[in-house]
C-alpha cells in the first residue's frame, strides 16, 4: 500500500491442502465486499516447502520461511514445543518486516471462519 502496509498470514502444509482453510481464506478476499483489491497486499508466509508450492500455485505474493532443523509442515497443537517454536519464528519474521520499514496487519488464515460463525449465530 502507499504507506508500506502489508497484510501477512502464515500457513503450513497442513493448512494448504486443496479444499482447505487456505483456499477458503483466499476466496473470502475474492468474494468479500470490496476486499478483492487487498489480495495484492497480502503476503503469505509459508512455513514449509509444501505450503510454499501450494501458495505459489494460487497466489502472487508467497514467501517461504525456512527454519533450520525444524519441520513445521504438520499439525502443531497449541502450546506444544513445536507450536511455541513456530510462534517465536513467526515473531522473528514480523520483527524483520518492521525493521525493513513496513507496517503490517497480521491475520490468521482461519479468521474469516470466526466471522462467519458469528454471523450464523
What residue segments make up the domains of the chain, in order of their start? 5-120
Query: What is the grid cell recorded at 49?
Result: 516447502
β-pair partners for 45: 10, 63
pLDDT in tens, 93-115: 999 999 999 999 999 887 766 66
Identify the CA nearest to 100 among candidates 26, 25, 43: 43
Q: Distance between CA 75 and CA 100 in Å, rounded?
A: 31
pLDDT in tens, 14-49: 889 898 889 989 998 999 889 999 999 999 999 889
Distance of CA 97 to the CA centre of its chain: 14
Q: Distance between CA 78 and CA 97 in Å, rounded?
A: 25
The count of other CB atoms within 10 Å of the CB of residue 41 is 15
Angle, vertex CA 5, rays to CA 87 and CA 40, nearest 5: 95
The count of other CB atoms within 10 Å of the CB of residue 106 is 14
Q: Which of 2-11, 35-44, 67-76 has the lowest mean pLDDT?
A: 67-76
Domain 5-120 has CATH 3.40.50: yes
Amino acid at each position: 500500500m502507499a504507506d508500506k502496509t502489508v497484510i501477512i498470514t502464515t500457513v503450513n502444509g497442513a493448512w494448504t491442502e486443496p479444499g482447505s482453510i487456505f483456499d477458503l481464506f483466499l476466496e473470502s478476499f475474492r468474494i468479500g465486499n470490496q476486499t478483492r483489491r487487498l489480495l495484492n497486499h497480502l503476503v503469505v508466509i509459508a512455513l514449509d516447502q509444501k505450503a510454499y508450492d501450494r501458495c505459489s500455485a494460487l497466489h502472487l505474493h508467497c514467501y517461504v520461511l525456512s527454519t533450520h532443523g525444524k519441520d513445521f509442515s504438520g499439525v502443531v497443537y497449541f502450546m506444544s514445543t513445536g507450536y511455541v517454536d513456530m510462534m517465536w519464528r513467526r515473531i522473528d519474521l514480523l520483527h524483520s518486516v518492521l525493521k525493513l520499514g513496513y507496517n503490517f496487519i497480521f491475520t490468521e488464515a482461519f479468521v474469516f471462519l470466526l466471522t462467519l460463525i458469528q454471523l450464523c449465530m
